[in-house]
Homo-oligomer: A and B are copies of this chain.
Amino acid sequence: MATTLQTLDRGLRALEIVAEHAEGVTIAELAEQLAVHRAIAYRIVTTLEGHGLITRTREGPVRLGAGISLLASRFEPQLRGVAQPLLQRLARATRATAFISVAQGDECVVIMEAEPEEGLLRVGYRVGSRHPLTRGAAGIAILAARPPQPDDDEAVRQARTEGFSLTRGQLQRGAVGVASAIASPQVRPGVEACVGVVAMDDLDTDTAIREVMDHAGQLADLIGQ
């Protein structure tokens, strides 16, 4: 019947709660947020700590541990580190917020973000935020990189021929997004990523399209070696 495991689920929720508290949480606070007894929270913390995913200061709060970095270093190792400077350059060139998203099931998740240094208003694109692949420039760019399907949307077909996708107001009123897939089929089939920018209506789309596609090519080269 139940296809998920309660204990594992609680442990992962605990990990997320710890992640949300940069200043750390006590076991008692953790138990309250999980709505479980403190003894349970204590055992969860002990187990997570055994795997290095969290760490504890003496008698004090719990925070994320170095095991997270180990996992992150295994997840698209080529991308991390190399991509951040590129994203910064893209953000500067387009005066817009640059991001990298990957497909996760039938959703699109932001994994990295860089904001322009200048400008009065900034558009933030929160790392970890997700939305359906069928909505927003990022998802459409990823769908366009897949083999053609008979039920593809018009926007997807257009993005497939042009090499980029441009959407207005699909995720937020007044927001415009441009994205292009990062092509690396030979390296890691199954990993689907795209790079793009998002901004208010005043985005210079010609520049954005050119820069986004240029950076998508650079990223593909960097991770394709």
Closest-CB distance, A31 to chain B (whole angstroms): 14
Closest-CB distance, A75 to chain B (whole angstroms): 4
Known contacts A5-B44, A47-B4: does B24 contact A190 (CB below 8 Å)? yes
Complex interface: chain B residues within 8 A of A200 (CB) = none
* Chain A interface size range: 35 or more
Complex interface: chain B residues within 8 A of A127 (CB) = 69-70, 73
Closest-CB distance, A36 to chain B (whole angstroms): 12
The answer to whether A52 touches B188, judged by C-beta atoms less than 8 angstroms apart, is: no
In Å, the complex CA distance between A72 and B77 comes to 12
Complex interface: chain B residues within 8 A of A61 (CB) = 190
The answer to whether A19 touches B105, judged by C-beta atoms less than 8 angstroms apart, is: no
Known contacts A12-B51, A71-B19: does B104 contact A65 (CB below 8 Å)? yes
Q: Which residue among A49, A81, A105 has the maximum number of chain B CB atoms within 10 Å of its CB?
A: A81
Interface residues of A in 68-92 (CB under 8 A from B): 68-77, 80-82, 84-85
The answer to whether B109 touches A5, judged by C-beta atoms less than 8 angstroms apart, is: no
A48 at the interface (CB under 8 A from B): yes
The answer to whether B109 touches A66, judged by C-beta atoms less than 8 angstroms apart, is: yes
Interface residues of A in 112-151 (CB under 8 A from B): 112, 127-128, 130
Known contacts A5-B11, A7-B7: does B74 contact A72 (CB below 8 Å)? no
The answer to whether A46 touches B3, judged by C-beta atoms less than 8 angstroms apart, is: yes
B-contact bits for A35-66, CB 8 A (1 contact / 0 none): 00000001110111111110111001101111
Chain A residues with CB under 8 Å of chain B are 3-13, 15-16, 19-20, 22-24, 42-44, 46-53, 55-57, 60-61, 63-77, 80-82, 84-85, 102-105, 109, 111-112, 127-128, 130, 188-191
Known: A12-B48, A66-B102, A71-B72. 4 other contacts (CB 8 A): A9-B47, A16-B51, A23-B188, A64-B74
